[in-house]
Chain A
Amino acid sequence: MNQQETFNSWIKDYRALLFKVVRAYTLNNDDANDLFQEIAIQVWKSIPNFRGESAVSTWLYRIAFNTAIRWSKKEKRNSNGKQDIDKSAHLLEYKPDNHDERLDWLYYQIAQMNEIDKSLALLLLDGYSYKEMAEMVGISESNVGVKIYRIKNHLVERSKTYENHGV
């Protein structure tokens, strides 16, 4: 497969993975489009470097996280004067129908976390091992363990508030 075919195939097969990262790092549709576009560009340029030493999903998660973290920092810097470049087309359309409000709440909670915790929360919920998380996020396995313990507790505690108020 050439670069274009690989790109199309990855975007098609792993869109759910990319959407999760996009949604966890953004709070509105415009930002989601902006970030997805950044990730798509990074995925495109990463294709020649992919040696098949890790699973495609792991590779894409790593690219998506790195891009999302860079994007978040850039957004904070440019929040007073957003650039209009590359805003001509929207790549994503959020479909709010038929969704679980608890999932919205969960994404909101993840969005409030710091960059590393966001990544770990997504990987935790997607069932990755501590070892895989450590490789993808770039911190030690023991550090992952500590952070995951806190993230789990935080989410469970916050969910009690959610249940009490019926949000």
Chain B
Amino acid sequence: MEFDELKKVWDEQNKKTMYTIDESALHSIITSKKKGAIHKAKFMEYILVGTNLLAGSAIIIAHFVKGKDLILDLVMAVFMLATAAIILYFRSQRLSGKDKFDRSIQGDLEHGLSDARYVVRMSKTMQYYFVVIATLTVFTKGFENLSFTLILIGVFAFVLYASTWEHKWYVNKYNELKKLKKTLHDE
């Protein structure tokens, strides 16, 4: 073929549709990331509020039913119930803040980033919280039996180690969103 013929073949494609395009797909990619961040925040809140309420209430009930007179039991229970209340407060703050984001690509991205940042901070705070709870538990329950104490410490150490991996995962998700924002605005 001469070049003119090649050009004719080339020009023909302008009259045809080679691809169909989903115009809202780009927006939906960002929306799905935002929903992922919201879902993680919600899941974390439910788990933390639920476990703290249950454990705190159970300790208080056991304290009074069994008649144990250990002040650390009550301190730990109050600490847990207070934590549940604080998380509920943070949740209400998070939910009330969502209206400041519009439904544009940028707004959805900012919303996703905000919730991802929230999850990362919550996850880090909960690691410190866990250390406090674990220490109180060892002091209230562990020293009755040495081997039980060692098992308890081992389990807590493992949970703490696992929580650092979980935290890293949340940080990675947050960084993905930051990278997307950087690509959209800063480069």
A positions within 8 Å CB-CB of B: 3-4, 8, 11-12, 15-16, 19-20, 22-23, 32, 36-37, 40-42, 44-45, 85-86, 88-95, 98-100, 102-103, 106, 125-127, 152, 155-156, 159-160, 162-163
Interface centre among B1, B19, B105 (most CB of A within 10 A): B19
Contact indicator A99/B18 (Cβ below 8 Å): yes
For the complex formed, measure the closest distance between the CB of A67 and the CB atoms of chain B, giving whole angstroms. Answer: 11
A32 cross-chain contacts in B, Cβ below 8 A: 19
Q: Identify the closest chain A residue to B12 (Cβ).
A: A100
Interface residue count on the B side (C-beta < 8 Å): 34
Report how far A162 CA is from B1 CA in the complex, Å. 9
Provide a sorted-by-A list of 17 A–B residue pairs whose CB atoms are within 8 angstroms. Answer: A4-B104, A11-B23, A15-B19, A41-B26, A44-B105, A45-B183, A45-B184, A45-B185, A45-B187, A90-B25, A92-B20, A93-B20, A93-B21, A95-B19, A100-B12, A103-B10, A125-B7
B105 cross-chain contacts in A, Cβ below 8 A: 4, 44
Contact indicator B29/A89 (Cβ below 8 Å): yes
Interface centre among B1, B10, B179 (most CB of A within 10 A): B10
Q: Identify the closest chain B residue to A156 (Cβ).
A: B3
Report how far A16 CA is from B17 CA in the complex, Å. 8
B13 cross-chain contacts in A, Cβ below 8 A: 16, 20, 100, 103
B166 cross-chain contacts in A, Cβ below 8 A: none
Q: Identify the closest chain A residue to B7 (Cβ).
A: A125
